[in-house]
Structure formats: structure tokens, C-alpha cells
Amino acid sequence: MSEMTYRDALNQALKEEMRRDASVFVLGEDVALYEGSFKVTRGLLAEFGEERVKDTPISENTIIGVSIGAAMGGLRPVAELMTVNFALLAMDQIVNHMAKIRYMFGGQTFLPMTIRMPGGGGSQLGAQHSQSLETYFMHCPGMYVLYPATPGDAKGLLKSAIRNNNPVIFLEHELLYNSKGEVSDDPEYLVPIGKAEVKRPGEHVTIVAYARMTVLALQVAEELAEEGVSCEVVDLRSLAPLDEETILDSVRKTGRAVVVEECWRTCGLGGEITSRIYEHCFDILKAPVIRVSGLDVPMPYSRKIEMLCIPQPATIRQAVTDVMSGAY
């Protein structure tokens, strides 16, 4: 095991998979000479050359369209979109083609492609560059949606995504790139797609979270442990498929749940998870489920107001306190 940043873990995953499989190649805006906006593709051009690390025009629709064709032709493209916000320009390719081609061809073709996209708020980038759009992709069947919280999971999930024969949306929170954690040195280390993980065992309340919200939830759980409140933190890791079993097993144990998401509350992931908890655990719940979500507003530029729109440790802590005390 080595300690490294989230950014370096992703970089290591790309290098290992490109060394392992000559059909893997990387494409996107500024991924080659500039080595990526967040430097995740650092050193790839020098090692693998311009045939396998390709700078593209500023056209997200084209990037994904080329990737689809390459995947159908037997390659394993890893496309980087500069931010998830720009994926909206490629939604026709993503939703009408990438997600449906294998189904419409009756399973006679595979589509082994991965789309990497940074996203999330908190960086003062304004309303058009600070969105959390994961539920857009989750809503469409035919593709996997992954959103790791730790460097170790980032590496293991990206390797699993690249090796998978189905299209994968791979989301990365911009505020996690510099976070550090333990990462396996094993080039065959894989994190299974579709499997959540209990990051911290607990007895009194389940906190379900993903991506940066998992990091904040763990911080809150550590603080509350000193006050005698035992929080079990479930990190989703995979948003589609969603590991319902791990979530429900945890809630059955604790009897209480707080669901944390950065995306907008309306039609958000938290509503889906809360619904499933009520469907399967209603009779054993000791208190109503509490959702902690991003506000239903365009993201402000002002730092102080932006923080009001995104769940913070204090927000999560208050939700846990409320669900424990019955003040909901």
C-alpha cells in the first residue's frame, strides 16, 4: 500500500491499464500536451505516444461519438470531458447512442468505453461549472455510473470500469483531487462495480453518502463518536447499479438513516434511496429518514453563499442530531 492523492491514484490506474492492454487509449480536450486540466493524464503522452493519448477539438459530442465508434470497433477508449457540465453538449450521444447500442443490437456488440468527468461545487466556478449531474445519468438505463470518494476506490473502480464491456460514466469530485489515502500497489487490484462499502461501522444511525459527501460524513461520525453517538457510514461508490442490499442491511441494524447528497434535492438520488428504505424498512425505523441535499438553486459565485447551497459538516451533524432526538 502507498499513500497518494486521488489525482495520482487515477493517473496510476490509467497507466497500469494502458500498459496491460494495448486497446486502451485516452482522448479529450488537453489530455495530451497539457496533461489534463486537473493533471490526471500527466505523463501519459510521454510513455504511450500520440496514437494512444489524443488531444481533441472542443466538441464533447464528437469526443463521445468517436469513443462509441472506437469501442464498437474493438478498442477501449477512456474519454475525458473537462467537466461534467459539458456533458450536456453530448447527451444525444450518451443517452441515445452509448446507452442503447448494445440493447438495440441484441447484445451482438459490446461497448467497452469509459467517460471520466470532474464535477461538483465548492470551487467558486459559477452556476454553469459547479453542477452535480449524477442523477441525469442514473436516470438512463444502459450504463454504469461510478463516483468514488477515496483514492483507493478511485483507482480500483477506474480499472474495473476500463475492463468492463459496458459503457461507464466515471465521476470525480474536483475538491477530492488533492485528498490523500492508502492505495493498493497491486496492478490487479479492482473494486467491484455495484458494491457499496461500510466505511465506518456504527450502531445508532446510518449515514448514506457518496463522493465528497462521504468524506464529510466520516468527519461528522468521528466528531459524534466523542459524544456517544455511533454512526455507520455507507459509501455508495456505485450509483448505478445501486447496492440496495448494503444500504438496507445497515438501516435494519441501526433503525435510523440520514441520506446525504450534493445534487439538487428535487428528483435527487436521496429521494430514491429514501423511498427504498421506506419500502423495505418501514416497520423497523425508529425515526423518519432525513435527507441532506444541495439547494434547488443555480450555484452562486459568492463563496459564502455557495457554501449555503452545498451540505456542510454542520448540516449533516444537525440531521444526525435531529434523527436521534426525534426533532424532525
291 in a structural domain: yes
> What is the spatial distance between Cα 144 and Cα 250, in angstroms, rounded to a whole number?
23
Based on the fold, state whether residues 45 and 133 are members of the same structural domain: yes
C-alpha cell at 81: 470531458
Asked if residue 213 and residue 167 are part of one domain, the reply reads: no
188, part of any domain: no
Considering the domain architecture, whether residues 128 and 43 belong to the same structural domain is answered as yes
- For the question of residue 280 being annotated catalytic, the response is no
- Asked if 222 and 178 touch (Cβ cutoff 8 Å), the reply is no
In a domain, 261, yes or no: yes
209 shares its domain with 176: no
Q: What is the mean pLDDT of residues 189-215?
A: 98
Same domain, yes or no: 135 and 216: no
Residues 171 and 267 in one domain: no
Residues 307-324, buried b or exposed e (16+ Cβ, 10 A)? eebbbeeebbbbbbbebb
Residue 28, pLDDT > 90, answer yes
Q: Say yes or no to pLDDT of 44 above 80.
A: yes
Model confidence pTM above 0.85: yes
3-state secondary structure of 119: strand
Domain boundary among 134, 161, 183: 183
Structure confidence at residue 326 as a pLDDT band (50, 70, 90):
confident
Residues in the chain: 328
- Domain membership flag for residue 190: no
Q: Is residue 189 part of a domain?
A: no
Averaged pLDDT of the chain: 97
Please report, as a single letter, which amino acid is at residue 132: S
25: in domain: yes
pLDDT > 70? residue 328: no
Instruction: Please say if 245 is a catalytic residue.
Output: no
Residues 131 and 244 in one domain: no
**Given 16, 29, 35, 60, the catalytic residue:** 60
Instruction: Evaluate the CA torsion angle 247, 250, 256, 258 in order and state its sign.
Output: negative
CATH (domain of 222): 3.40.50.920
Q: How far is the C-alpha of 231 from the C-alpha of 224, rounded, in Å?
A: 8
> DSSP readout, 142-171?
TSEEE---SHHHHHHHHHHHHHSSS-EEEE
The whole-angstrom separation of Cα 238 and Cα 170 is 9
User: Do 107 and 64 sit in the same domain of this protein?
Assistant: yes
Over 70: is that where the pLDDT of 235 sits?
Answer: yes
Of 129, 134, 204, 232, which residue is the catalytic one? 129
| Domain annotation covers residue 59 | yes
Structural domain count of the chain: 2
CATH number at residue 144: 3.40.50.970
Domain extent, residue 157, equals 2-183
- Residues 278 and 309 both lie in one domain: yes
pLDDT at 327: 55
Where among 183, 214, 235 does a domain terminate? 183
Q: How much is the pLDDT for 242?
A: 97
| β partners of residue 292 | 260
Phi-psi region of 180 (alpha: psi -120 to 50; beta: other; left: phi over 0): beta
C-alpha distances out from residue 266 to 144, 269, 292, Å: 22, 9, 12
CB 76 within 8 A of CB 25: yes
Domain boundary among 124, 159, 183: 183
Q: What is the pLDDT of residues 46-92, one digit of tens each?
A: 999 999 999 999 999 999 999 999 999 999 999 999 999 999 999 99
Residues 6+ apart with CB under 8 A from 130: 85, 120, 121, 122, 123, 299, 306
Same domain, 273 and 151: no
Q: Is residue 174 part of a domain?
A: yes
Q: Are residues 151 and 268 in the same domain?
A: no
% of residues, the chain, pLDDT over 90 = 98
Mean per-residue pLDDT, 103-132: 95
> Are 152 and 275 found together in one domain?
no
Cα gap 24→14, rounded to integer Å: 9
Per-residue confidence band for 45, with pLDDT thresholds at 50, 70 and 90? very high
Q: Does 241 sit behind a cis peptide bond, omega within 30 degrees of 0 on the bond before it?
A: yes
